[in-house]
Structure 1
Amino acid sequence: MPASATKSLRVAVLSDSDTRWKWGALTAGRLAPTDAEIRLDGYLLRGRATPTARQLKEVGVRADSLREVTGVEFLRAMGQAAEDPYDVLILALVGGGVQAMLHGLRAIWAGAGRRPVVVTGYVGVVYEKLADGLLLRHGADLVLANSRHDADRFRAVYEGVGADASSVTEVALPFLGGASYTGEHEPYTVVFAAQPSVPESRKDRTYLLNRLIQHARKHPEREVLLKLRSRPGEHTTHIEELPYQKLVQGKKLPANFRLVYGHMGEVLDRTDLLVTVSSTAALEALHRRVPTVVLTDLGVREVLGNHHFTGSGCLASWDQLDAGHRPAPDAEWVSRQGVAADGSYTTAFDTARERIAKLLDRPGGLPPLTPYYTPETAPGYLPGILARHHLGPDGVPLPGAPAADKEPGPVRQIVRRAARGAYRHGVQRVAPVIRRMGEL
């Protein structure tokens, strides 16, 4: 039904981790007209980072339905819904997953009268694999950019390879919000926002942990919190081989130092200083005008992602923080990064909403999806991406591709949970041991 004739919006979100589910589900809410009722159906792509029930609860987004699927099962579901399609489909996946689904959807929707508006984007700061990730997302109707800075970069990449850049749409991160910081709490609270894979080495992660503990000892009047993304055994978007929970074992901790979980927004409610290496939490804090520091202790390097914050006024070291440094963000940098601390957040999604409404009202429906990568433009790259999702070069499921029409039985569920547990044990315990042995 055209957007102009309805007060409701049916949205499907396919995601592959807790953070991408959070981004996709919250984006769905931002894209809906303010006076519209939204029905949200969630699909969780089965894999190593499929979120647990606790992780889903922590995100705090309620879906009208939620099910775990393989890529082929999801495509089958979209094919079955072709007669009464969703209005919007959000692909909240890693780049290769987006590309595979775009080709699979193109094949399954061939000849269909109507199809959803397909939307994709990024969960946070884009600091690596810019061209690779963007071209894998090309073909969606809207490729969301979380800031003016990103929108300019995205268009430059697409135009540079001769691809259509009209899909790039500037928005903002969908999870910004909360009350602005008004002054120090009692006690003054310092929060370190941990990341699963940045930094990567045991040496660097141990260094950061020790400096955080040292800061707590130097400032016993402060509360010092280590904000963790996941509990042991859980995975997020990135693999965490060396969780801080493991590194902190056996250390004598000061009374004012604690490990905390939970919703980042709730933690920011009591934060006086947010410290991180390059977490998207920095942008959440800046949006709320919470003093924010991006650490330089390990260098300002692309591999860490903190190079993204050059010019922000937020770069500092633990030595400076121990001495009482208070950061002052650069207003122009903050504005270009979509932080919207100036109150413009209420209109940040207006353009995207308008584009979706026009696409839904398009006479005759939408044309087939046209990704930049095809068997002709990337014959040595695309087939491998599609095969990882059990799709052939034409986007059609390969013979023997795993698919099921019903929920797996209890035995299969137990086997699946055991396999995931074995994988996570290998990632977090066996792999680091093997790596250390290789360094001897």
Structure 2
Amino acid sequence: MPASAMKPLRVAVLADSDTRWKWGALTANRIAPREVRLDGYLLRGRATPTARQLGEVGVRADSLREVTAVEFLRAMGEESYDILVLALVGGGVQAMLHGLNRAWEDRPGRPVVVTGYVGVVYEKLADGLLLRHGADLVLANSRQDADRFRAVYEGVGAGADAVTEVALPFLGGAPYSGGNNPSAKQGRRPYTVVFAAQPSVPDSRRDRTYLLNRLVEHARRHPGREVLLKLRSKPGEHTTHLEELPYQKLVQRLDPPANFRLVYGHMGEVLDRTDLLVTVSSTAALESLHRRIPTVVLTDLGIREALGNHHFVGSGCLASWDQLDAGHLPRPDGEWVARQGVATGTTPSGAGTYETAFDTARERIGDLLARPGGLPPLSPYYTPVTAPGYLPGILARHHLGPDGTPLPGAPAADREPGPVRQIVRRAARGAYRHGVQRVAPVIRRMGEL
């Protein structure tokens, strides 16, 4: 039977933030061997995306609903899927792997379980990887990551067969061809500099204020340029990481020039009009490099693991604001870019192109789906035997016992919450976000007195 005549694959994605929903949904469509029906599940928590954030992501699903961990596990016990993508933090992945084993123990078959990372892996490599071990596929977004992932798994005696090299699923767009190019809608546009902000890097008021001041000063020095501060979320919203000091509030104390402004929206659309992308360590740098846009990773605050810009050592993209103000434009190293899975076309090393980056994953999933007798139970590295002092706490945070069974009193609703419960939930989230963005910084400053 031709693939076009086959039934769509049923695919579920469980995500805990807007960025992970974007990664999970786009990944699901890229790795599926044929057309899919996509059901989205948003894990209820501090970073559950708002309707605005979901709209900005621009990824559509056939169904989408918010769930607790226990509600999701119940749905997985009742529904039949071909592929399940866990787009969660490491602890969430580990909890779901154990919970799913329990939910599927009396079923004749189960879906192929896939997980991975939404971007650059620059911290907690061993911890995050071992929490993801047990999925059928652990996706690595580059050749470099695939090598590192296998080294960690093999180093602890865990199987590394699940590691599968792919690429970031949201790369694309027209390659950059130079500044001030005519646009069908705008004619000749100004040279545009975009600073891609991050919610938690850097995390101090002093460092964030410094970066903002340098960005504003760059706009003053270059009045003919358009200088944009690209933000991930609006005040009161959360994304993958907490943001205690939103740039929107810091900029209120400044008097930026007319050629400086804040922008939101889809990163790909912002890159469509970008001539220079500047960041500390955002994954946006990889999106920009993929399109051959001049890209700078800042060194002003040092090259440090805490900032994540150490990941770009060897990239050729490291520079400071002083250098940028003087007109310097770094030239990316081709071999380094190729190892990150973001280069298109022929590379010096002969590496494959982005268009074929997901072929291996599709083939592996196809083989697993066709496996006679179905798939064996999931087999995480962490068990009550290998991590008796660590695993129970991870499971308990998702209201699961040491064997993956829901704990008594675990939150689970059989129907959509009523209006009163919805109001209470929104109020609780608002209080939490107020605590993160207003109260916590005050307490921290008081502690430094």
TM-score of the aligned structures, taking structure 1 as reference length: 0.97
Counterpart in the other structure of 2:186: none
- Out of 371, 377, 384, which is 2:386 matched to? 377
Confirm or deny: 8 A CA contact 1:79 1:108 kept in the other structure: yes
- How big is the shift at 1:251? 1.0
Residues 4, 75 of structure 1: CA spacing in aligned structure 2 closer, same or farther, 3 A cutoff?
Answer: farther
- Out of 120, 123, 126, which is 1:125 matched to? 120
**Is 1:27 paired with 2:27?**
yes
Residues 4, 60 of structure 1: CA spacing in aligned structure 2 closer, same or farther, 3 A cutoff?
Answer: closer
Quick one: which amino acid aligns to residue 71 of structure 1?
A: A
Residues 4, 96 of structure 1: CA spacing in aligned structure 2 closer, same or farther, 3 A cutoff?
Answer: farther
- How big is the shift at 1:153? 0.1
The separation in 1 between residues aligned to 2:151 and 2:85, in whole angstroms, is 23
Confirm or deny: 8 A CA contact 1:4 1:357 kept in the other structure: no
Quick one: which amino acid aligns to residue 150 of structure 2?
A: R
Q: Provide, for residues 119-175 of structure 1, a one-character-per-residue CA deviation record: whole Å limited to 9, x for no partner.
A: 000000000000000000000000000000000000000000000000000000000
**Is 1:47 paired with 2:45?**
yes
Would you say how many aligned residue pairs link Structure 1 and Structure 2? 434
3-state SS of the aligned residue for 2:304? coil
**Is 1:236 paired with 2:239?**
yes
**Is 1:152 paired with 2:150?**
no
Confirm or deny: 8 A CA contact 2:32 2:365 kept in the other structure: no
Counterpart in the other structure of 2:420: 411
3-state SS of the aligned residue for 2:281? coil
3-state SS of the aligned residue for 1:372? coil
- How big is the shift at 1:70? 0.2
Counterpart in the other structure of 1:252: 255
The separation in 2 between residues aligned to 1:6 and 1:146, in whole angstroms, is 29
3-state SS of the aligned residue for 2:53? helix
- Out of 332, 337, 350, which is 1:334 matched to? 337
3-state SS of the aligned residue for 2:362? helix
Counterpart in the other structure of 2:350: none
**Is 1:294 paired with 2:297?**
yes
**Is 1:70 paired with 2:73?**
no
- How big is the shift at 1:335? 0.3
The separation in 2 between residues aligned to 1:277 and 1:9, in whole angstroms, is 39
The separation in 1 between residues aligned to 2:345 and 2:394, in whole angstroms, is 41
Counterpart in the other structure of 2:360: 351
**Is 1:103 paired with 2:98?**
yes
- How big is the shift at 1:9? 1.3
Counterpart in the other structure of 1:362: 371
Matches within 5 A, 1:308-327: 308-327=311-330
- Out of 417, 437, 441, which is 1:428 matched to? 437
Counterpart in the other structure of 2:131: 136
Counterpart in the other structure of 1:56: 54
- Aligned-CA RMSD value: 1.2
Counterpart in the other structure of 1:219: 222
TM-score of the aligned structures, taking structure 2 as reference length: 0.95
Counterpart in the other structure of 2:185: none
Confirm or deny: 8 A CA contact 2:137 2:163 kept in the other structure: yes
Residues 5, 372 of structure 1: CA spacing in aligned structure 2 closer, same or farther, 3 A cutoff?
Answer: farther
Quick one: which amino acid aligns to residue 64 of structure 1?
A: D
The separation in 2 between residues aligned to 1:348 and 1:278, in whole angstroms, is 23
- How big is the shift at 1:4? 11
Confirm or deny: 8 A CA contact 1:31 1:349 kept in the other structure: yes
- How big is the shift at 1:201? 0.3
Confirm or deny: 8 A CA contact 1:143 1:169 kept in the other structure: yes
3-state SS of the aligned residue for 2:395? helix
Confirm or deny: 8 A CA contact 1:194 1:229 kept in the other structure: yes
- In the alignment, structure 2 segments of 5+ residues that lack a partner are 181-188, 347-352
Residues 4, 379 of structure 1: CA spacing in aligned structure 2 closer, same or farther, 3 A cutoff?
Answer: farther
The separation in 2 between residues aligned to 1:138 and 1:29, in whole angstroms, is 22
Counterpart in the other structure of 1:272: 275
The separation in 2 between residues aligned to 1:32 and 1:109, in whole angstroms, is 22
- How big is the shift at 1:340? 2.5
The separation in 1 between residues aligned to 2:228 and 2:72, in whole angstroms, is 40
- Out of 72, 88, 102, which is 2:83 matched to? 88
Quick one: which amino acid aligns to residue 281 of structure 1?
A: A
Confirm or deny: 8 A CA contact 1:176 1:287 kept in the other structure: yes
- In the alignment, structure 1 segments of 5+ residues that lack a partner are none
Quick one: which amino acid aligns to residue 292 of structure 1?
A: T
- How big is the shift at 1:327? 1.2
3-state SS of the aligned residue for 1:124? coil
The separation in 2 between residues aligned to 1:151 and 1:61, in whole angstroms, is 26
The separation in 2 between residues aligned to 1:393 and 1:285, in whole angstroms, is 44
Quick one: which amino acid aligns to residue 191 of structure 1?
A: V
Confirm or deny: 8 A CA contact 1:4 1:361 kept in the other structure: no
- How big is the shift at 1:50? 0.1
Q: Provide, for residues 195-219 of structure 1, a one-character-per-residue CA deviation record: whole Å limited to 9, x for no partner.
A: 0000000000000000000000111
Confirm or deny: 8 A CA contact 1:289 1:341 kept in the other structure: no
Confirm or deny: 8 A CA contact 1:144 1:168 kept in the other structure: yes
- How big is the shift at 1:5? 8.8
Quick one: which amino acid aligns to residue 392 of structure 1?
A: G
The separation in 2 between residues aligned to 1:228 and 1:368, in whole angstroms, is 42
